[in-house]
Structure 1
């Protein structure tokens, strides 16, 4: 037991130092350089993939959006302006342009026949089965109101009467194709205290009134034509005005602040947000209802109900800013350069396990030296080292370096 403990301490208190072995092997040398080159190329690619070394980034973009729609259109035999078809009217980042509308005028609280086809009836029993249902235009009372022919009728409801009939066909407002949307977007990157707008302040009023956004000819124009947006996303005007839909206008800010801040400008992208439901029967398009209330001359509360089909626009702002930061870049650089040493580890694995000269390499690379060397041993080591130097002076100029392989033979000089 004491011997094992002593042996443990003897093995623990040792010192290891690096020993250089020069291996003159074409195959291993090529592998070493190729692995080093791949590591360096990987680092260069990594730098370019991460914004050319920009490590200090700000994704906490602050944004404000103001919109304004212009254009005149016609549906329901009347000319409509912005106040008629834009909802809500505040001009925020989300708004709708109404393309058609079913209007039910002069509704009052009372009892009347339902208009929804699923509430057709022939007897009161048909309506009693749905007594209390509130899935239609009102609450079912349980009474079947026959039509004038005395055959199929409609269940009676209690609610706003007359009930809305949204099965009527309305001609949508096709003029929406020529409507324009003015977008004013200001953003700020708080980390860098950089504030930008989506168009230069140098643009005059005359230019803004006439220009239409085009990514090539007018990239800074803040006025977008609805028809251009629809064509950009390959959408039919007829389909979206008949059923309604949702359009996304994406404003993306990607800024490299190592350059002048004037190069920090947005890119615009357009998407059909409800594309996932294009084949849906129950939830296709976009519509909503709203009512306008008033009182009749006798004081009865009345309302006009509107069911609107519309194109809903969502302004989506995103972005990030980057700026070169020395400290993380140097850390990554040192890490990459240190990783070049992996080539040595890889080549050692080959030499120690797979190379035909593995035993010779092991003998040269790993050598145990006692901490106590006698004087005579020192002399022998000294003499041996002198002989080694003379024998290998063509292969190495470092007394701590061994050379293996590809040694040239030399004939002894004439005596």
Structure 2
């Protein structure tokens, strides 16, 4: 046991140093150079294809968005302008274009029959079971208001009356396809103190009033036609105006500031944000309610309730900027040249395990030298299998380098 412990200690306190062995083999030499060349080529391609590898990046983009919608439509024999169908009207990055509405006019506080189907009743007992329900248009009183013809009636509610009936079918406003959205986006990269806008300041007013965005022919036009946006996301007008929907306009800034700052321009992407609920039964489309209040001449407060189906627009700004930086470039450069050493490891595996001269290579590459030697120097080097390859051994000018290869006729 003590012998084993001593042996572990002596094996631990050893020093290893590299020994250079020159192997004159065409096959291994070609493999070595090919692997090194591939590693260098990979690094060069990586640097030029991945700018982030040697650039200082700024992802903290600061952004401001202003929007303006234009167009006239017709709904329920009424001409609708921007003030009628855009909600809210502040002109920010999130807004809705109303395509149809259910209007319940002259509502006042009182009691009236519910309109929801789930509140049908034949006796007061049916309505008592629904006390406390918050799914309808008001608070259920418990009374059943039977129809005069003897058919099922509706439970009585207390709230804004008459109750809204949103089952009324409405023809959506089809003119929405020709509505236009003006987008004004300014951004800043604080790390580089670079400020840009989504269209050049050289664009004149007449051009902006007549152009429509096109990714090929008019990429800098800030006017987006609703019909064009729907075509970009492969959506028909009917599919989104009947139930409403949500559309995202992504303004993406990818800027390489090693070039002139005028080359820093946005790209636009469009998507249907509610696509995940396209086949949903419980909730489909996009709608919301709002009311307009007024005081009547006879005293009680009244309101007009609107349930609107709309195309909700979300403008999303993203991006980053980069500029050459020597620190990440040098780090990657050192990593690349360090990786070249992998070729040596790969070739060593071939030589030590698969090459026909594996045993000869092992004998030359690995050698143990003890600091206490009892035998003469002529007897303690290269014993056993190493003695059989002395004829193949040739020293170079470097005393630590051995060459293994073809026999030298001068030594025969």
Same fold by TM-score greater than 0.5: yes
State the secondary structure of the residue aligned to 2:239.
helix
Deviation per CA, 1:256-307: give whole Å up to 9, x if none: 0110000000000000111111111221111000001111112201111000
Unmatched 5+ stretches in structure 1: 382-387
CA contact (8 A) 1:53 1:324 kept: no
Matched with 1:294 is 294
The correspondence of residues 353-392 of structure 1 with structure 2, limited to 5 A, is 353-369=353-369, 392=394
Q: Given that residues 290 and 305 in structure 1 are in contact (C-alpha distance below 8 angstroms), is that contact kept between their aligned partners in structure 2?
A: yes
| Aligned residue-pair number | 402
C-alpha separation in 1, matches of 2:197 and 2:324: 23
Give 2:386's aligned residue: none
TM-score by length of 1: 0.89
Question: How far is the alpha carbon of 1:27 from its aligned partner?
Answer: 2.9
Kindly indicate whether the alpha-carbon contact (under 8 Å) linking 1:389 and 1:399 is maintained by their aligned counterparts in 2.
no
Relative distance call for 1:107 and 1:6 in structure 2 (3 A) is closer
* 1:385 match: none
In 1, Cα distance between equivalents of 2:49 and 2:329: 13
> Which sits farther off after the overlay, 27-36 or 271-280?
27-36
| 1:247 and 2:250 correspond | no
Q: 1:138 to 1:9 in 2, by over 3 A?
A: closer
Shift of 1:392: 4.1
1:187 CA displacement: 0.5
Equivalent residue number for residue 111 of structure 1: 111
Instruction: Report if aligned partners of 2:67, 2:183 keep a CA contact under 8 Å in 1.
Output: yes
Deviation of residue 198 (structure 1)? 0.2
1:60 deviates by 0.8
Pairing 1:148-297 to 2, within 5 Å after superposition: 148-297=148-297
Q: Is the 8 A contact 1:96 1:311 kept in 2?
A: yes
In the TM superposition, what whole-angstrom CA distance separates every residue of 1:138-167 from its partner, at most 9, and x where no partner exists? Answer: 111111111231221111111100000111
Which stretch shows the higher mean deviation, 131-140 or 155-164?
131-140
Q: How does 1:322-401 map to 2 (within 5 A)?
A: 322-369=322-369, 392=394, 396=396, 398-401=398-401
2:102 and 2:28 map into 1 onto residues whose CA distance is 82
> Partners in 1 of 2:139 and 2:307 — Cα distance?
19
C-alpha distance in 1 between matches for 2:284 and 2:3: 86
For the structure 1 residues 268 and 363, does the alpha-carbon distance in structure 2 shift closer, same or farther, using more than 3 Å as the test?
same
Long gaps (5+) in structure 2:
382-389
Identify which range, 118-127 or 201-210, moves more after superposition: 118-127
The question of whether the paired residues in 1 share the 8 Å contact of 2:394 and 2:404 is answered with no
Matched, 1:317 2:317: yes
Partner residue, 2:84? 84
Q: Once structures 1 and 2 are overlaid, which stretch shifts more, 278-287 or 190-199? A: 278-287
Give the structure-2-normalised TM-score: 0.90
CA contact (8 A) 1:116 1:136 kept: yes
Name the SS for the 1:243 alignment partner: coil
Give RMSD over aligned pairs: 2.7
Q: Distance in 2 between matches of 1:11 and 1:406?
A: 36
CA contact (8 A) 1:54 1:322 kept: no
What is the CA-CA distance between 1:13 and the residue it aligns to?
Answer: 6.8
**Structure 1 residues 390, 362: CA separation in 2 closer, same or farther (over 3 Å shift)?**
closer
Q: Which position in structure 1 is the counterpart of 2:63?
A: 63
Residue 131 of structure 1: how far off its partner (Å): 1.9
- Change beyond 3 A, Cα 1:342–1:301: same
Structure 2 counterpart SS, 1:130: coil
SS of 2:409's partner is: coil
- The 1:306/1:377 distance shift into structure 2, 3 A limit, reads closer
Quickly say closer, same or farther: Cα 1:148–1:399, change in 2 above 3 A.
same
Structure-1 residue corresponding to 2:99: 99
> Could you tell which deviates more after superposition, 343-352 or 45-54?
45-54
Cα pair 2:392 2:404 within 8 Å, conserved? no
- Residue deviations 1:11-33, cap 9 Å, x none? 67765443221112233223322
Q: Are residues 286 and 367 of structure 1, via their aligned partners in 2, closer, same or farther at CA, if it must alter by over 3 Å?
A: same
- Give the equivalent residue in structure 1 for 2:143: 143
Shift of the alpha carbon at 1:219? 0.7
* Change over 3 Å in CA distance of 1:391–1:133 after alignment to 2: closer
Work out the CA distance in 1 between the residues paired with 2:120 and 2:356: 93
8 A Cα contact 1:186 1:196, kept in partner? yes
